Structure 1
Amino acid sequence: MRLSYFWGRMREQFGETYVESLARDYVLEGLGSRTVQQALAEGVGAKEVWRAVCEEFDVPVTAR
């Protein structure tokens, strides 16, 4: 998954305003107690990050 696609999906699910805060501040256990930004910066793939976000926030299967 490309980062541009990942960020597009994030914006679709969480809105333009909230997505930045979520990515910067929300710690996900599924990412080893890291934020989205930390995980991506440390080399975790966008697809893996997206899956963790989907699990944490119960994103509907049709949107995954």
Structure 2
Amino acid sequence: MRRSEFRELADHVFGPALSHTYAQDLVLEEIGGMTAEQALEHGVPVRSVWTALCDAMDVPDSARWEIPPVQRHR
């Protein structure tokens, strides 16, 4: 998983404004008490950061990994 995929999924799951806020401000104990942005900067694997963020926000597995093709930004 790449950072661009992380951002695209976060925007899809949480909405652009909240995804930015969560990534910047939400402390994730699962990844050492860092925010998602801090963890990414410290080299924590992107998939681990995404999983920790989804776990913290109680996102069901079914909503974590797939963006419908018509909603993709590519």
TM normalised by structure 1 equals: 0.92
Gaps of at least 5 residues in structure 2 are: 65-74
Letter aligned with residue 11 of structure 1: D
The alignment yields a C-alpha RMSD, in angstroms, of 0.9
Which runs of at least 4 in structure 1 moved beyond 4 Å after TM superposition? none
Post-superposition CA distance 1:22-47 (Å, at most 9, x none)? 11111011111000000000000110
Point out where structure 1 has 5 or more consecutive residues left out of the alignment: none
Q: Distance in 1 between matches of 2:57 and 2:21?
A: 15
Distance (Å, rounded) in 2 between the aligned partners of 1:17 and 1:54: 16
Q: Which residue of 2 aligns with 1:21?
A: 21
Q: State how many pairs are aligned.
A: 64
After TM superposition, give the deviation of residue 21 of structure 1 in Å.
1.3
The residue aligned with 1:12 is: 12
In 1: Cα distance, 2:11 partner to 2:21 partner: 11
Percent identity for Structure 1 against Structure 2: 42
Match of 2:60 in 1: 60
Partner amino acid for 2:58? D
